[in-house]
A and B are shown apart, each in its own frame.
Chain A
């Protein structure tokens, strides 16, 4: 099958890739660009493990076609930390033990950072609603919510 040329920007870097028309953005990231930090749990938009930002909007990359990334900006888990320092959301996930197996963690962190970028002072209900599209079978969610609350607090203090 003929492949389609896709020019996109991933984590600030221009990228070129050849993509089959049926391939999802998730496949493009993982299989063509080697960015395996974004995970597939279901492939049907149910688990959130594949969460990325597409032009600043939170999407399930398993439900977006690879060719739709043409001319757009994609942010993945690999683009969240600075080269020398974790993002505060990542740091708080570590401190609060908000991960166990870690397969859901990239999706949660991308989603939580997007929330705090938009709403720096979310209450617990807002956090739980925002993360409702991300499933975790290990942690029981509570530690994740606390990590996000703590990250928000720290961001407020440092700004």
Chain B
């Protein structure tokens, strides 16, 4: 058959084009780049899962010899600050254990780390919301006091950022026709993608305000537009050059470091390199959603399903955007059902924002 169709690729075992560079150590990943005059930045992260930030004092860190610049949330553009910007540097509240609160650029990464200890943050600890059950309970502590389900301000604020429903037929009638009804509850915990390469980038901005960013990412154009958005810059002012990527699995579709590195480069006049350590990756970068699902199926003895309902609650982390929509679309999709009801909830909790 292969001969008959004269296939060129199918049936062959080509060697991957990036292979030789990867088996010899030549391939450059996110942390492998270096620029002349480069300095290093590190991030101070919240030790609380939920806390009001009453004040941040960077002055002692800035006094340390070898420190070039330090920033916190108030140094990023405030107007139109979106969730991404607030995730990159916390504003009024630290929303999860590991939420970035401030960053320091210094002549070495070790010195930047030492400078972090000199930053004074006054926190007021708040009750954290850590499970879906707690988040949706009556009177729950609010992760975001301005979050209204589906934006509906006629209802009180809630940790349920969005709710969606899909319905067909008459489920009550369907269940009444069933010989057997099974109802189960399923819990899946948060899991991190666990890519071996921690997030890393270098940013260099010139006097005309044009920045170049080298980073490991699953999408350099997204990095460009997201970084531009957070910094209130034009996309044409930012050039992003992707390195090899040491695994991403959906976790490197967003940004954490890039605008901070650009800002610190702007303040110091130096290229700024930022590399997360493993602990930071686990504390602050996107895991998958923890979920709580209740599924009910009614069937006749011959196996015909007469009705099914699915209630899916997905943890979004500290900002809305859990992939509960695709969950709703697929949960009952393999079956030909006349009567169904699917409900999906995007639930805020004090954990890192999910990615993928």
- Say yes or no: is A2 at the interface (Cβ < 8 Å to chain B): no
Chain B residues, CB < 8 A from A136: 196
Give the Cβ gap from A121 to chain B, nearest Cβ, in Å.
23
Q: Are A104 and B26 in contact (CB under 8 A)?
A: no
Q: Are A105 and B23 in contact (CB under 8 A)?
A: yes
Majority SS of interface residues in chain A? loop
Chain B residues, CB < 8 A from A90: 23-24
Given contacts A42-B278, A97-B16, whether A37 and B25 have CB atoms under 8 Å apart is yes
- B163-201 CB mask vs A (1 if < 8 Å, else 0) is 000000000000000000000000000000111111000
Q: Are B196 and A99 in contact (CB under 8 A)?
A: no
Give the Cβ gap from A60 to chain B, nearest Cβ, in Å.
13
Given contacts A76-B25, A101-B247, whether A47 and B32 have CB atoms under 8 Å apart is no
Chain A residues, CB < 8 A from B25: 35-38, 76-78, 106
- Complex Cα distance A103/B28, Å? 10
Interface size class of B (residues with CB under 8 A): 20 to 34
Chain A residues, CB < 8 A from B27: 102
Candidates B22, B31, B278; contact of A105 at CB < 8 Å: B22
Give the Cβ gap from B239 to chain A, nearest Cβ, in Å.
22
- Complex Cα distance A101/B193, Å? 14
- Complex Cα distance A30/B249, Å? 26
Q: Are B19 and A99 in contact (CB under 8 A)?
A: yes
Give the Cβ gap from B112 to chain A, nearest Cβ, in Å.
13
Q: Are A103 and B23 in contact (CB under 8 A)?
A: no
Chain A residues packing against B (C-beta within 8 Å) = 1, 20, 22-23, 30-31, 34-44, 46-47, 49, 76-78, 80-81, 86, 90, 93-95, 97, 99, 101-106, 109, 135-138
Can you offer 16 A-B residue contacts whose CB atoms are under 8 A?
A1-B110, A36-B31, A36-B32, A37-B26, A42-B278, A47-B196, A86-B23, A94-B23, A95-B15, A99-B19, A102-B18, A102-B244, A103-B29, A103-B196, A106-B23, A137-B247
